[in-house]
Structure formats: structure tokens, C-alpha cells
Amino acid sequence: MTLDQITAFLWVARLGGFRRAADQLNLTQPAISTRIAKLEAELATPLFDRDGSGLSLTRQGTLLLSYAKQMLFVQDEIRRRVADTAELTGLFRIGASETIAQSWLPDFLKAFSAVYPQINIDLTVDISTDLRQALLSRQLDLAFLMGPVSEFTVENVALPPFDLYWYCAAGSEPVDLRTTPIISFSAKTRPYRELMNLLSIHVGPSVRVFTSTSLSASLQIIAAGSAVGPFPRALAGKLIADGRITEFDPGLSASPLAFTASYLGEPRNFLAEEGAAIALKTAQDWQQSN
């Protein structure tokens, strides 16, 4: 019995299929099947019931699953506490919203790489709704998104929020929100929904709203005088310094952007745990210096 066999068994049990486990472990399906077959042969008992409706654990498979979790937990603890982090290798998949990507993400990658210099990183920048789905489907190991993710399988580490400030093109004040287009986050995000509720209450139903998945493009649109909108001050700094946009107060206060470092809690992923801790410290240090 080997750890590779136990790991294959755990992922087949967790994901409910050999192909999904193979994708998760970056192996071929025959390789996973071989490991399970050898494990069942050594234990002299079937671990899965295979029928037309899919895979399910046998009674012995259910018993093994509890031991498998304990074995891999110990393995992760050894890697975390004993192994030289500079020698660890592998692929770590990170997802980040654009707000994070344009603020403290570069500092995070530098800090993470200093601890794990041989870990390869696959980075995805997307809107939070898509990052959430990618995390739950196990396409990401760690996601920096507008959270928390309300799933019992997900661990959420609260990150420092971003306050929102209203911006318009320099020299364009005063601004009348009843006649000036407002640009916001993607229509599939919580900030957009909250902004629409705020505008409908205080401005009226006829307000004109643009949406964009790109915060940098949105700020350029504001600088061109085509719209106004609420965005994090940290992302607007260069345009403010260049004299292209300015803050103004429309009498409406948008809620801060709340972010989390989210990862699946089971099976345990110590890199995700460590990554979330590094992200929290990085975000705190970045906000203190900006």
C-alpha cells in the first residue's frame, strides 16, 4: 500500500469518478484505475460499487476513507512543519479579482515565491462569480474574491476591505447623477447590485448605468468624461496624480468591497492554508503603506 494509491482512492471517493480524479492529480485515467486496482488487490476487498449510476463506496471503502483522510493529514503536516519549503515542487492555481490583481497581488506573489521558490503558479484574473465557480469545481486551489463563499466545504479568510470613492473627470464638477452616465462593476457582481439599489432609491429609475468587467477600462472611461462611478482609491491613484480624474461627493456612500482568501477545506491543502495566511499579511501591509 502506497501513499499514491491512498491519494488516488481519496480523490476518486471525493469526486465520484476516475476521470475527475485523474484530472485533479494530473494523471491519466488508466493510471488512477491501476492504483485503485492494486489497492483493492492488496486489501483483498472491493472499495467501490460500480454500477450504471456511477461509483459509490462499499462498507470497507467507507472505513478506508476515514483512515485515508488521517494519513494525508499527517503527510501534509510533515510537509508543512518538517520539509524544506524551498525544495517543494508542484503547481498552485490561484484566482484573483481585478481589484486584487491591481493592488497587492504582485506583492503576494513575491512573498509566496520567497517561501516556495520551486512551486509553479497558474494565475487567473476574473470576476468573483466565475472565481467562486472555479474554486467549487476544484479548478483553483486558492481564490481572492468578493466573499465569503457560503459553502460548508470552503474556508474563508477575511481580507482588508477596499473603500469606494466617487470619481469624475477632472474639471467636470458639479455632477448630476440624473443626467450623467454611471459606470460600475460587471452586472454579475454584488457591488453592481448594491449600487443599483442605492441609485434607484436616491436618484430614480431613469439613471443611466454602464457596466464593465475591467476596472482599469472603467477608470479610463471616467477620465475621458464619459461617465462617473465609485471605485477603490488605490486603483485610481495614478489617474489622480496625473490630474485626469478627481473625487467628488454625490451624497451616496457605496459599501466597501469585502474580500476573502477562500479555499476548499477538504481534502486539506496546506499550500492553500499557507497562501491564505501570506495573502492576509500582504494585504494588511499593502493597505498600511497606501
Model confidence pLDDT, tens digit, residues 161-198: 999 999 999 988 889 998 999 999 888 888 899 999 99
Higher pLDDT residue, 70 or 267? 70
According to DSSP, the β-strands at 48-51 and 90-96 are: unpaired
Question: Is the Cα torsion angle 12, 18, 19, 22 positive or negative in sign?
Answer: positive
Q: How confident is the model at residue 54 (pLDDT cuts 50, 70, 90)?
A: confident
Question: Which class would CATH give 164-247?
Answer: alpha beta
Other beta carbons within 10 Å of 30: 10
pLDDT tens digits, one per residue of 121-163: 999 999 999 999 999 988 999 999 998 998 888 999 999 999 9
Average model confidence (pLDDT) across the chain: 90
State the average pLDDT over residues 45-55: 82
Q: Which CATH superfamily is domain 87-161+258-289 in?
A: Periplasmic binding protein-like II (3.40.190.10)
- Spatial separation of the C-alpha atoms in residues 193 and 68, rounded to whole Å: 44
Q: What is the pLDDT of residue 78?
A: 74
Residue 278 pLDDT grade (very low, low, confident, very high; cuts 50, 70, 90): very high
pLDDT tens by residue, 192-236 = 999 999 998 888 878 899 999 888 999 999 999 999 999 998 889
Question: What's the CA gap between 151 and 157, in Å, rounded?
Answer: 13
Is pLDDT above 90 for 261?
yes
273: how many CB neighbours lie within 10 A of its CB?
18
Give me the mean pLDDT over the 68-76 stretch: 80
pLDDT above 90 (res 111) = yes
Q: Is 156 left (phi over 0), alpha (psi -120 to 50) or beta?
A: beta
Q: Which residues contact 107 (CB under 8 A, 6 or more apart)?
A: 282, 285, 286
- The CATH topology of domain 3-81 is Arc Repressor Mutant, subunit A (1.10.10)
pLDDT over threshold 90, residue 52: no
Mean pLDDT over 82-111 rounds to: 87
Instruction: Give the integer Cα–Cα distance in Å for 146 and 224.
Output: 28
For the chain, which residues make up each domain, given as ranges? Answer: 3-81, 87-161+258-289, 164-247
| The model's pTM | 0.76
Kindly tell me if the per-residue pLDDT of 80 is higher than 70: no
Same fold flag, 3-81 and 87-161+258-289: no
User: What integer pLDDT is reported at residue 53 of this predicted model?
Assistant: 67
Extended beta strands in the chain, E state? 48-51, 54-57, 90-96, 119-125, 142-146, 154-158, 164-169, 182-184, 209-211, 229-232, 245-247, 259-264
User: How much is the pLDDT for 14?
Assistant: 81
142 or 72, which is more confident? 142
**Which H/E stretch holds residue 245?**
strand 245-247
Nearest to 271 by CA among 79, 137, 99: 79
Cell of 106: 504582485
pLDDT digit string (tens) for 9-41?
A: 988 888 888 988 888 788 899 999 999 999 999
